[in-house]
Amino acid sequence: MHLIKENPAALSAGAHARGIDLDVYVTYLTMLTADPDAAPPQDTAQAQEMQDNIMAGMEAAAVVLDTDVYTLARNMGRIKNDSQALAAMVEASTLPEPMVIGIINQQLAQNEINLDRGVDFNVGEYLTLNFGVFLLMFAIGSISFLFSCVFNLTKNSLALGAGIPIGFLIMEIMSQAGSDLEVLRFFSLNTLFDPSAVTGGGTFVLQYIALAVIGIVLYVTSITVFKKKDLPL
């Protein structure tokens, strides 16, 4: 089945033989990988029913994630990373969970292939992502710079100047471990930079502005503190 999915001619021949759309046939092969007993769609009505089930599942997951179906379709990894969204998609689509995960994996793999081929490369998104990384580093750097200006001892400046950014990173990672820890993301500065929002059509402008403001305020504060500081020379 893997060889068939990688061969356009074989895919077209298989879809034609079963009398279904090519996209539906690819979905069926993905489902068959997860469940060898999956029954193939035999006619247009059955194929349409499968598409409707998948769309119903996507809509349910989109409601849980508070986004729209179009945006979610471009970043289906969010469904796998959210147990509630995955459960909602399984329930609404009436498809077994292994099949749903297989469909998501197929879409994610296709997205990566398209990126490798440069099919979906977007210069604007690429520049926006890099600008977001700069703003995140700008804000985090301002924290380290502030404590370097406040404290005279290196151990104190490193404890907070490096400790806080590392704490942000740890909380961001832990927030992705499960829904119970998701609240930790609100205590991390890293949350303000969301690559999926840039590539998936989400909102990111306010987050970028917040990062810029945090960095500017802390750098200005640091300079002010340093100017007024009585250095132990």
Per-residue pLDDT of the chain (233 residues; tens, 9 = 90+): 444 545 566 656 666 655 555 555 555 555 555 444 444 444 456 666 777 788 888 888 888 888 877 677 777 777 877 888 888 888 888 888 887 887 788 777 776 676 666 655 678 888 999 999 999 999 999 999 999 999 888 888 889 988 999 999 898 888 877 777 878 888 889 889 988 778 766 788 999 999 999 999 999 999 999 888 877 66
Structurally, how many domains does the chain consist of? 2
Could you tell me if 222 and 216 are in contact, meaning their C-beta atoms sit under 8 angstroms apart? no
Could you tell me if 221 and 213 are in contact, meaning their C-beta atoms sit under 8 angstroms apart? no
Q: Which residues contact 148 (CB under 8 A, 6 or more apart)?
A: 157, 161, 222
Question: How many distinct helices (H) and strands (E) make up the chain?
Answer: 13, 0
* In a domain? residue 233: no
Q: Are residues 90 and 8 in the same domain?
A: yes
Q: Are residues 14 and 101 in the same domain?
A: yes
Q: Are residues 109 and 190 in the same domain?
A: no
The Cβ of residue 207 has, within 10 Å, a number of other Cβ atoms equal to: 19
Q: Are residues 103 and 27 in the same domain?
A: yes
Q: Are residues 52 and 144 in the same domain?
A: no
- pTM for the complete prediction? 0.54
Q: Are residues 62 and 87 in the same domain?
A: yes
* In a domain? residue 204: yes
Domain, as residue range, for 19: 2-116
Could you tell me if 135 and 209 are in contact, meaning their C-beta atoms sit under 8 angstroms apart? no
